Amino acid sequence: MPTPILSYRDARLFKGDREHRILAGAIHYFRVHPELWEDRLTRLKAMGANTVDTYVAWNFHQERREDAPDFSGWRDLGRFIDLAGDLGLDVIVRPGPYICAEWDNGGFPSWLTGTPDIMLRSTDPRFTGPVGEWLDHLVPVIASRQAAEGGPVVAVQVENEYGSYGDSAAYIRWSAEALRERGITELLFTADGGSDYYLDGGAVPEIWATATLGSRGAEAIDVWKRRRPTEPFFNVEFWGGWFDHWGEAHHVRPGSEAAAEIRTMLDAGGSLCVYMAHGGTNFGLGAGANEDGGIQPTVTSYDSDAPIAENGALTEKFHAIRAEFLRAQGLAEDEWPALPAALLEPAAVLPARTLELSPARLPLLDSLRAGLDSAVAAGEHHPSERPLSFEEIGQHHGLLFHRATAVLPGREDAPQECLLKLPELHDRAQIWVDGEPVGILDDTTGTAGLAVQGHGREVVLEILVENLGRINYGPYTGQRKGLLGGVLINQRFTLGWEHLVVDPTRFGAEDLAGLATAAFEADAPADTYLALPGSTKGFVWVNGFLLGRYWEIGPQETLYVPAPLVKAGRNTVHVLELGVSGGTVELREAPQLGATRVDVLTEAELA
């Protein structure tokens, strides 16, 4: 087996025979338009980094089990690695199979996590079998680009933050061996939080243990000196910023405060990777969710208050971190290389304007009914006694429309109030009775239900369930989506359902033509920031590309439209509104990610 280019002894890291320090930043290829990969990597190098770190999102490459994993186009991981190498950057690959990353389902495809009774992230053969098949496709892309083969890949992660989830050393060793037997020869490492608790569950003696933390670096270094005295300290995820949830406020962290924490770890001789150096965007339906007494869906932007902003701008934090990286390389300030002028110039932006949004061909409910009627005629309506889940239908994300008839208690001359309850609802449901909207329930209100009036006669129940993003962290990772507990009228189940899949990621020209539409002209491709003032909630496309979700609850007000999505001439915007349309689309000249939640993140959030 070739000798790994990175090695360590006496708590020092070496590259070949020279002492080395990793100064890295994370960029996820799946969150950046591929025409911008080189630009964002160039900006990372200009920050003083010598290494780029990326996760690999399994469900980005293989959403359906029957399809072979796709490594073409936007999914061309090999090209991303090659571009980094061409720029002189080393590459660290974190293939999971679990990645967290605030990415939908932590990177797992739902066909895997929906396997009945499966134990994720364990030696359960129902889990390791599909993982092995995935690695058969993935690892050759990485292995052929290792340093031993003349490529830039210098290290590969084993699983990810496993000590936050489980404690099976056998599984960690299986994961390492699965990489080795498929051709990974470079240095392997695990990554866990910076305390004994996380190391207890996720680290094994024979694999380099690295840390993930955003504060209290000195405390973590002391833990490593005590627990892993022969290993160099490497914070593979320094959380220099934070992500946002819908309904909360935008997180920021001052660059000076982040840089001070970085200095602490670098002065102690450690290596460090800024997470994120450039966050990018959760395009389409890639955003995941957390769970804390209810689902906390992540917004479409993954700017994360990173040093390289979502639009590529070099922020105050960029300059603060660059100073620490260059200082760690032994360079006095008067020796720092000048930043290329092109990197300091703002990106071209389309002029601000307001576009009239023509109404959809049909109102939402009428459109759903027409789609379901067509599915019934074609025998594609998935009839069942109880409502089917997303997993049972084989649907990873989007929406499911359900229809059934029920008798609501009461009499025509004496209406009776009853409760329509959706126990175990995941995640959000809009409900109509005989075509009239009666309310919205979610995972925190579904069990209590909502009051509706019954007259002792049969009514049509119609329910549109939205998957707000699959949970990406903790024991609820892999949680199923849909009307998992059925539909109750008081204590009585409603049976006999029809179903329609509504998958915005697969809308074609005919689907888009029926949506609300606006258009704008552009002299040349340029960035823009799209807002829908007055609109409630939904999905938006530019030139047929699904940007992601918008939602009036914020904090995110604008969606980033990178220049490669804009073309010279006429451009179209399509909107699927789930509530009330504001009637216009605005193109703005700067992002609005919402009012900030705090000036400095608390230690609890960064720990």
Buried b or exposed e, range 325-363, using 16+ CB within 10 angstroms: bbbbeeeeeeeeeeeeeebeeeeebbeeeebebeebeee
- 600 belongs to a structural domain: no
Q: Tell me, yes or no, whether 541 and 485 share the same domain.
A: no
Q: How many CB atoms lie within 10 A of CB 188?
A: 18
Residue 161 annotated among the catalytic residues of the structure: yes
Q: Tell me, yes or no, whether 212 and 300 share the same domain.
A: yes
pLDDT tens across 137-164, in order? 999 999 999 999 999 999 999 999 999 9
Residue 335 annotated among the catalytic residues of the structure: no
Q: From 502, 526, 558, give the residue that closes a domain.
A: 502
SS3 content of the chain, % helix, strand, coil (to 5): 25, 30, 45
Residue type, 355: L
The confidence score (pLDDT) of residue 413 equals 85
- 399 belongs to a structural domain: yes
Mean pLDDT by 10 residues, the chain (607 residues): 95 97 98 98 98 98 97 98 98 98 98 97 98 98 98 98 98 98 98 97 98 96 97 98 96 96 97 98 98 97 98 98 97 94 95 98 98 96 97 96 96 91 98 97 98 94 98 96 98 98 97 98 98 98 98 98 98 98 98 73 43
| Maximum separation of any 2 CA atoms in the chain, in Å | 90
Residue type, 271: S
- 537 belongs to a structural domain: yes
DSSP secondary structure letter of residue 45: H
Q: Tell me, yes or no, whether 324 and 451 share the same domain.
A: no
pLDDT tens across 429-479, in order? 999 999 999 999 999 999 999 999 999 999 999 999 999 999 999 999 999
Q: Tell me, yes or no, whether 199 and 287 share the same domain.
A: yes
Residue type, 218: A
Cα 385 to the center of its chain, rounded Å: 34
pTM of the model: 0.96
Residue-range definition of the domain harbouring residue 550: 353-360+515-590
Token pair 């697969």 is found at 506
CATH number of the domain encompassing residue 83: 3.20.20.80
With vertex at residue 280, the alpha carbon angle to CA 279 and CA 284, rounded to the nearest 5 degrees, is 130
Q: Determine which one of 63, 159, 231, 237 is catalytic.
A: 237
Q: Tell me, yes or no, whether 335 and 482 share the same domain.
A: no
CATH number of the domain encompassing residue 520: 2.60.120.260
- 547 belongs to a structural domain: yes
Contact between residue 287 and residue 505 where contact means Cβ atoms under 8 Å apart? no
Q: Tell me, yes or no, whether 325 and 202 share the same domain.
A: yes
- 605 belongs to a structural domain: no
Q: Tell me, yes or no, whether 432 and 522 share the same domain.
A: no
Q: From 467, 502, 537, give the residue that closes a domain.
A: 502
Q: Tell me, yes or no, whether 266 and 237 share the same domain.
A: yes
Q: Tell me, yes or no, whether 412 and 554 share the same domain.
A: no
Q: How many domains does the chain have?
A: 3
Q: Tell me, yes or no, whether 474 and 529 share the same domain.
A: no
β-sheet with 559-561: strand ranges across = 353-356, 584-588, 528-531, 559-561
Q: Tell me, yes or no, whether 454 and 548 share the same domain.
A: no
Q: From 502, 524, 547, give the residue that closes a domain.
A: 502
Q: Determine which one of 161, 310, 557, 577 is catalytic.
A: 161
- 209 belongs to a structural domain: yes
Q: Tell me, yes or no, whether 81 and 55 share the same domain.
A: yes
List residues bridging with 191 in a β-sheet. 210
- 603 belongs to a structural domain: no
- 259 belongs to a structural domain: yes
Cα separation, 550 vs 537, in Å, equals 6
With vertex at residue 541, the alpha carbon angle to CA 40 and CA 374, rounded to the nearest 5 degrees, is 140
